Amino acid sequence: MKTFHHSDFADPLNLLERKQAGRLTVSVCIPTLNEEGTIARIVSCLHEELVLRIPLIDELVVIDSGSTDRTRELAVESGATVHLASDILPGEGPACGKGENLWKAVHQCRGDLLCFVDGDIGNFHPRFVLGTVGPLLADPTLHYVKGFYERPLLASEGVDPRGGGRVTEILVRPLLKRFFPDLARLHQPLSGEYAARRQVLERIAFPTGYGVETAHLIDVATLAGADAIGQTDLDERIHRNRSLADLGRMSGQILDAFFARLPGGEAAPGERPPMMSLDAYLDRHPRPTGARRHQHT
């Protein structure tokens, strides 16, 4: 598994040249729910640095779960295009959760490369995008790149600053070591900062909740091999800490997604199908002439 440092991709002009040479487009999506304290700074930073100054980002999108604060208003004012998740693919029925927002971003966004960043980062910097998109532009053998970082909010709890948080160390890493040891080399498998090629994301299922990152890793490794996954050191990420009750719910959703991917496992509750199985997606993102249209099962 290839590991990078964000400083390897600190020159956005170089990445722009690589993007143009490959005739690729980049979409950045921020899934949100009540993030008025941080969303304006995140969107403004990306819009000013990577849309206006150097146009590495072709599309800057917020997919919102129905915030009751000023998240959507601030995001629009700061330069993002904002969509309510419930307005996208309404014919597929209602669902909510982070994974639902990411699944709908695959449909809504147009980019060849999709980059996701969480909406609660307190120390946001362009490296959170450059460090995950950069390896995809530099190495065609990579299909999915995760970020990892120090997490100072957890330092007092004795968590390895280069490891994951509580759910990662207690639940996810032991499961990966037992069942998918190649993926256990990832420093932070639950990181919310990552980038991927559309051709991979459109072919995998999405749990609607917090199991989505775990499911992605297993499904991408199954589809393209663990060596198609890379990781980038993003130095430090400051964000809000979650309660034990929140982490308990997160763990349950991760377990559902994980066991669904073991031999003989049943589909996780509410899991969304691969986008390639939806006619609406294929209408919005046409295949080359003669390409096979997958049936929605």
d(CA 181, CA 133): 25
- Report CA torsion sign: 202, 206, 208, 214: negative
Query: For residue 247, what pLDDT is reported?
Result: 79
Mean pLDDT confidence for 287-291: 66
Mean pLDDT confidence for 275-284: 97
User: Can you say how many angstroms the Cα of residue 31 is from the centroid of all Cα atoms in its chain?
Assistant: 9
Tens digit of each residue's pLDDT (9 = 90 or more) over 250-263: 899 999 999 999 99
Sheet containing 194-197: give its strands across: 3-5, 229-236, 144-150, 194-197, 113-116, 26-32, 59-64, 81-84
Q: Which residue has the tokens 């049936």?
A: 295
Task: Give yes or no for residue 4 having a pLDDT over 80.
Answer: yes
Task: Give yes or no for residue 239 having a pLDDT over 70.
Answer: no
Chain mean pLDDT for the chain: 91
Task: Give yes or no for residue 243 having a pLDDT over 90.
Answer: no
Higher pLDDT: 237 or 285? It is 285
d(CA 288, CA 277): 16
Banded model confidence at residue 130, pLDDT cuts 50, 70, 90: very high
The percentage of the chain sitting over the pLDDT mark of 70, rounded to a whole number, equals 91
The percentage of the chain sitting over the pLDDT mark of 90, rounded to a whole number, equals 81
Residues 6+ apart with CB under 8 A from 156: none
**CA-closest candidate to residue 29, choices 127, 103, 94:** 103
Mean pLDDT confidence for 56-70: 98
Helix/strand/coil percent split, the chain, to 5: 45, 15, 40
Query: For residue 61, what pLDDT is reported?
Result: 98
Q: Is 231 exposed, middle or buried (0-12, 13-18, 19+ CB in 10 A)?
A: buried
Asked if the 3-281 domain carries CATH number 1.20.1440.230, the reply is: no
Tens digit of each residue's pLDDT (9 = 90 or more) over 189-205: 999 999 999 999 999 99
The gap between the terminal CA atoms of the chain, to the nearest Å, is 34
The model's pTM is 0.92
Domains of the chain, residue spans: 3-281
Tens digit of each residue's pLDDT (9 = 90 or more) over 147-156: 999 876 544 4
Task: Give yes or no for residue 209 having a pLDDT over 50.
Answer: yes
Query: For residue 155, what pLDDT is reported?
Result: 45
Q: What are the tokens at 27?
A: 């979409």
Banded model confidence at residue 159, pLDDT cuts 50, 70, 90: very low
Yes or no: say if 223 and 177 are a contact pair by the CB < 8 Å rule.
no
Mean pLDDT confidence for 68-86: 98
Yes or no: say if 150 and 160 are a contact pair by the CB < 8 Å rule.
no
Task: Give yes or no for residue 8 having a pLDDT over 70.
Answer: yes
Query: For residue 153, what pLDDT is reported?
Result: 52
Query: Considering only 32-46, 135-149, 155-169, 234-248, which range has the smallest mean pLDDT?
Result: 155-169
Banded model confidence at residue 163, pLDDT cuts 50, 70, 90: low
Three-class DSSP category at 18:
helix
